[in-house]
Amino acid sequence: MSLTVEHVSFGYGPRDGTTRSFSLGDVSVTVRRGSLTGLLGPNGCGKTTLLKLMSGVLRPEQGFITLDDRAVGSFSRRELARHVASVPQETHPAFDYSVLEMVLMGRHPHLGALQLEGPDDLAIAHDSLSATGTAHLANRPYMTLSGGEKQRVVIASALAQAPDVLLLDEPTASLDLAYQLEVASLLDRLSHDRGVTMVLATHDLNLAASLCDSLVLVRSGRVLTQGPTREVLTGAMIQQLYDVEADVQFHEASGHLTVVPIRRAP
């Protein structure tokens, strides 16, 4: 599915124009079907808020958001969950669920009221665990896992929803280098092998350079620019976005752009 954000505004706090704690203003973003789009920007710029608007958790005050030309607000919660899955920065379950139970939660939008998971749901859950390299953890308590394992299990739960669109908020935050590479490789496979449309919010510019075919740069609730990664990820744009001077070069061995921060811009 394609995802379109058109002239969307949203804010937290009273709408008197002076006391709002944060606001997005006139944001427009186009996410093509099957693409992997990165959201980049400093802390507090609005990346997570934009993801919540895309997922239907928040409703825009102005503008509209569509999935394949249908307004997100016209979907029921259950229907929307069949098309859009979200992977938050952190997941804290209320109970000590097993890994398999966590993944089976992704099947809930496809079940009727009081309906229990059947053989097909179990097969989809196990397939999602296999796709994320966590099948061997199925019977482990979720809370006993490492950070990287937890993140892959949460992604498996999102895959079990069989979504058309996957929204990810800092999926490699706080992970060590090996797990960062594992998660990046997983997302790349899901994008290319399953054709899932993805939107990825991250602070890791090199992750975005290696994975994303397009980028949206957000600062202070506004979109600075958007477009193909190789056109958007430049030293000049990084300076506008972060007030940081950076060297951006194509790395032959990795096959993508690499970003080396140099200093805070004067």
Q: In the prediction, which pLDDT does 19 show?
A: 66
Q: Position 100: which residue type?
A: L
Average pLDDT, the chain: 91
Please tell me the predicted confidence (pLDDT) of residue 148.
83
pLDDT for 91 beyond 80: yes
DSSP 113-164: TTPPP-HHHHHHHHHHHHHTT-GGGTTSBGGGS-HHHHHHHHHHHHHHT--S
The domain ranges of the chain are 1-83+163-225, 90-162
Cα-based torsion angle of the residue sequence 50, 51, 54, 59 in order, rounded to the nearest 10 degrees: -60
Predicted confidence at residue 176, as pLDDT, reads 82
Residue 20 has pLDDT above 70, yes or no: no
What is the reported pLDDT for 16?
A: 64
Q: What is the third-level CATH fold of 1-83+163-225? A: Rossmann fold (3.40.50)
Pairing relationship of beta strands 197-201 and 36-40 according to DSSP bridges: parallel
- Residue 93 has a pLDDT of 87
Q: Does the pTM of the predicted model rise above 0.85?
A: yes
pLDDT at residue 191, as a whole number: 85
Summarised one tens digit per residue, pLDDT across range 146-180 is 888 898 899 999 999 989 999 999 988 877 888 78
**What percent of the chain has pLDDT above 90?**
68
How sure is the predictor about 115, in pLDDT bands with cuts at 50, 70 and 90? confident
What lies within 8 Å, CB to CB, of 33 at 6+ separation is 1, 2, 197
User: What pLDDT, on the 0 to 100 scale, is given for residue 205?
Assistant: 94
pLDDT of 235? 95
**DSSP letters along 193-260, please?**
HH--EEEEE-S-HHHHHHH-SEEEEEETTEEEEEEEHHHH--HHHHHHHHSEEEEEEEETTTTEEEEE
Band (pLDDT 50/70/90 cuts) for residue 182 is confident
Quote the DSSP letter at residue 46: S
Q: Give the single-character DSSP code of 98.
A: B
Give SS3 for 90: coil
Q: What is the pLDDT of residue 195?
A: 85
Residue 157 Cα distances to 152, 153, 164, 190, 239, angstroms: 9, 6, 14, 14, 37
In the block, tokens 């949206």 appear at 216
Contact, 39 vs 218, CB < 8 A?
yes
